[in-house]
Amino acid sequence: MTAKEAAERERRYGLEAFAARHGLEFAPDLVEDLLDRRFYLASLWSDKVYGYGWNVMGGYWDGVPLLEMDYSAPTGAAFSGPNFGGTPTAGPFRGEYSVVKVPVPASFPPLYVLQKDWVTLLADEIDHLDHLHHERLEIMTGDRVFDESFEVLGSDREFAHRLFDPSMRRILLEKAKSYAFEFSGDSFIAYCGLLVPEELRWLCSAAVAVLRAIPGGLLDRYASFESA
């Protein structure tokens, strides 16, 4: 057995034990259709799904149904795709992520939110200097602290402004600054780099907190919205 195989087996055993402790079902097999093309992580916002998942856990976390998985997806792609009039560009490298998928009783337009890194912060500073808006997909909420902490990308500004009300902004700032979130269709995902099993509880809890912070009026408004 190679070192890589031994590490994969140890991770599988750790995830299986985590699932058993938290009353979740566990399946180690690779599955290609866990995330559909509406999610950037899976498809780079194209018509093809490039990602796949394995070590899947399913069940209820604090009363909320969810799936948690290890997920492999391409990295180094531009934010572009048919939903926004662009062409996806996939790099040759893949990343591995811990992903939680949560169903929602609505159908949301695509929206992506993640904590800003130093590259994004530098671009923001350039925007302030030359007064140009360099990321045409970026949506600003008007909350200075939130906008300096998170990048929000999407095509439906009304949806974003309704979603990121004061309660949601507080939850993201307090519980979810280490994770990325994508809202699309009848579910959303929360993810980050691959976590050790015991750290997954924080990711699952953050996803549940975000679900519970979605404004009720927004669920009613988008109950019949058909995502592109």
Residue-wise pLDDT tens for the chain (228 aa)? 899 889 999 999 999 999 999 999 999 998 888 998 888 888 877 788 888 999 999 999 999 999 999 999 876 443 333 333 334 444 446 789 999 999 999 999 999 998 886 334 434 443 443 333 444 578 999 999 999 899 898 889 999 999 999 999 999 999 888 899 999 999 999 999 999 999 999 999 999 999 999 998 999 999 854 444
Helical residues (DSSP H) of the chain, grouped into ranges: 3-21, 40-43, 118-130, 144-149, 157-163, 166-175, 200-213, 216-221
| Residue 25 resides in a domain | yes
Q: Which two tokens stand for residue 8?
A: 């994969």
| Residue 22 resides in a domain | yes
| Residue 61 resides in a domain | yes
Count of domains for the chain: 1
| Residue 228 resides in a domain | no
| Residue 226 resides in a domain | no
Q: How far apart are CA 119 and CA 215, in angstroms?
A: 31
Range of the structural domain that residue 210 is part of? 3-221
| Residue 73 resides in a domain | yes
